Amino acid sequence: RFSKLIFGENSEAVTSGRLAMAQAAGGSGALRLGAELIKLANPETTVWVSTPTWANHQPLIGSTGLPIKPYPYYNTKTQQIDFEDMCQVLREHAKAGDTVLLHGCCHNPTGADLSHEQWQMIADLMLEKDLLPFVDLAYAGLGDGLDEDSYGLRLLAGKFPELVLAASCSKNFGLYKERVGLVAALAKTPDAAKRAEGQIGLTMRRMISMPPDHGAELVARILSSKELTADWKDELEDMRIRMVGLRQALADALDVQGAENMARAIAAQKGMFSLLPVTPEQAETLRSQHSVYLLNSGRINIAGARLETIERLSNCILDVL
């Protein structure tokens, strides 16, 4: 049911029987299983990941033994997506059969998402180069809403004969510690999908035997009921709107104090995170002197802010810059 939610109820990927699926131990488990399946299918592939990316992407995928290479994604100086450089690197250096890890929405750690036009362009480039999409969809519903956040995935599923998806219910269902994830592989044929599903099951059996049930049962019960699904969507939308409000409030506070570029970037970004243009030393100053907690990379959790302290947060950020 979760797959229908993100691929689309009437998606050809869902109705054709070409989709291999399995419950995974959270988004991390789905990423590892997806990477293991990719290695089984093509041991010579290189996995391309964005710079920057979620800190655990490289350890999870690298633990399979697959080589990893970076592609440019976000320029911390301009605070914008480096789309031209991203396309140039993949066009000139990725080889046929390579894999490209793409954040489906709410890019972690930057919050900077591809536009519809950029999704179309990167999809066409990857088709031309015969590259495999590997989509990490960890925050569906927390950016612009469930359908909009699934745009890139649905576009790729409609264009490509094969792709791999790692999805998580940790944030959008509030089930982080229950480890509820989905690994899915779109195959060329229904028979190939069955074989892929069998391989996923065998791989999982060797690694963790089976994922926990309680969180997955909660998701299944919610999505099996129209009433519960409607309630969940309403609550998810409330969470999303709250984050949008916090993001805009911080942007407004920064803009008033003359930090127009940072304000513009934060307002345009999606989801839980933004990447502040600070050094590790400045991040440490924010933590030690201002009690503003963020990673050394500059990643800050917008959802952890409060409206009543937004002005103070803005002042603290500008104080260290």
DSSP letters, 200-242, are: HHHHHHHHTSS--SHHHHHHHHHHT-HHHHHHHHHHHHHHHHH
Catalytic annotation, pick one of 35, 136, 157, 305: 136
Task: Reply yes or no on whether 136 is catalytic.
Answer: yes
pLDDT at 14: 87
Domain 2-223 part of CATH 3.40.50.720:
no
Same fold for the pair 2-223 and 228-320: no
Q: Which of 171, 193, 251, 270 is catalytic?
A: 171
pTM metric for this prediction: 0.94
DSSP E strands, the chain: 19-25, 47-51, 68-72, 74-75, 80-81, 99-103, 132-137, 163-168, 180-186, 273-275, 299-301
pLDDT digits (tens, 9 = 90+) for 85-116: 999 999 999 999 999 999 999 999 999 999 99
Confidence label for 27 from pLDDT (cuts 50, 70 and 90): very high
Average pLDDT, the chain: 96
**How far is residue 306's CA from residue 26's CA, in Å, rounded to a whole number?**
28
Angstrom distance (rounded) from CA 16 to CA 128: 24
The yes-or-no answer on residue 140 being catalytic is no
At 3 the pLDDT is: 87
Catalytic residue among 13, 35, 41, 138: 138
The amino acid at residue 41 is A
Is 216 catalytic? The answer is no
Average pLDDT over residues 126-133: 98
Average pLDDT on 55-80 reads 96
pLDDT band at 10 (very low <50, low <70, confident <90, very high): confident
Indicate if 138 belongs to the active site.
Answer: yes
- pLDDT-based confidence at 265, cuts 50/70/90? very high
Per-residue pLDDT tens over the stretch 211-240: 989 999 999 999 999 999 999 999 999 999
- CA nearest to 283, candidates 268, 296, 273, 271: 296
Mean pLDDT across the stretch 48-62?
97
- What fold does the segment set 228-320 form as a domain? Aspartate Aminotransferase, domain 1 (3.90.1150)
pLDDT in tens, 30-41: 999 999 999 999
| Active-site hit among 24, 35, 39, 54 | 54
Position 1 scores a pLDDT of: 79
User: How distant, in Å, are the alpha carbons of 60, 63, 168 from that of 216?
Assistant: 22, 26, 11
* Percent of the chain's residues with pLDDT above 90: 94
How much of the chain is helix, strand and coil, in % rounded to 5? 55, 15, 30
Question: Whole-angstrom Cα distance, residue 232 to residue 20?
Answer: 26
Q: In the prediction, which pLDDT does 235 show?
A: 97
What lies within 8 Å, CB to CB, of 15 at 6+ separation is: none
User: What are the extents of the domains in the chain?
Assistant: 2-223, 228-320
**pLDDT at 221 (0 to 100):** 96
